[in-house]
Amino acid sequence: MSKITMTWTGVARGALAAAALSLTGLAAAGPAGATSTGAESASTIVAQATAAMTGLTSLTVKGSGLDGKQTLDLDVTTSTDGDAQGSLSEQGSTVALIEVGPTGYLRANQKFYTTSGVSKALAATLAGRWLDGPSTNQLFSSFTAFLDLSKFVASFNGGFAGSTFTKSGTAKVDGKRVVVVTGYDAQSKVGGRLFIAATGTPYILKEVSTGKGNTGTVVFSGLDQTVATTAPAGAVSAAQYGL
């Protein structure tokens, strides 16, 4: 299963790169619970936001990204207690994922398997079927960049080093007033805008990134909401197929 792991780890890395601005080195500038009124500097606002995101216990992420010619759409709900679920698609390959504690479940289409190096015959057998196994199994662990909340937030907050930030006014996201911060990384030539809650805890509610071959929009919701996942019926062991 090394090919599957390598393929989707690469997709995850590309999508996160497309969906993230560089927020490195800013987390110490402000407390997580501070309110982003817009009076602070752009770097301080971003620092408060990244600290707030780090403290989340659950999160729903919906968006799409482009890294070169590779596109990714995702809709994932993840938490710190080991429960997560969602779906991802990339260039016609689709996969649904569920984690219930230490057990992972995966259902994918035939293209997912064939583009990952699985034989056509086995891909046809596995397509549309739920597989299960330990979440540490390579088949599932290749998706931890999405399903592990702490890893996802760390990747999002990390981004590319060396970005500069400027304030770009205010706006609304789902009816909530936000402070808009524009960032740009001169080295990678990737920039974008962060939409940060202007009242209450300064969570990042939306991110739009732009750059040559790197674009993406991500919307965050379900902040600190209860995540309840259920094992799908009829799942078969991935080990049964040597996965």
Q: Domains of the chain by range and CATH?
A: 2-221 (2.50.20)
Beta strand 204-211 with 190-197 is: antiparallel
pTM given for the model: 0.81
pLDDT given for residue 35 in this prediction:
53
CB neighbours of 141 closer than 8 A, spacing ≥ 6? 5, 135
Distance CA 19, CA 204 (A): 13
Q: Are 169 and 139 in contact (CB under 8 A)?
A: no
Instruction: State residue 154's pLDDT score.
Output: 80
Burial class (CB in 10 A: 0-12, 13-18, 19+), 10: middle
Cβ neighbourhood burial of 242 (10 Å; 0-12, 13-18, 19+): exposed
- 10-residue mean pLDDT profile of the chain (243 residues): values are 37 41 32 55 89 94 81 90 90 92 94 89 96 88 80 72 84 95 79 92 91 81 94 95 88
CA angle 210, 212, 217 (to 5 degrees): 30
pLDDT at 236: 96
What HEC string does 71-91 produce? EEEEEEEEECCCCEEEEEEEC
Tell me which DSSP letter residue 199 carries.
S
- DSSP letter at 162 equals T
What is the average pLDDT value for the chain, to the nearest integer? 80
* pLDDT (0 to 100) of residue 23: 29
Q: Residue 17's pLDDT is what? A: 40
Model pLDDT, residue 22: 30
Tokens representing 50 are 């990244």
The pLDDT, as a whole number, for residue 30 is: 37
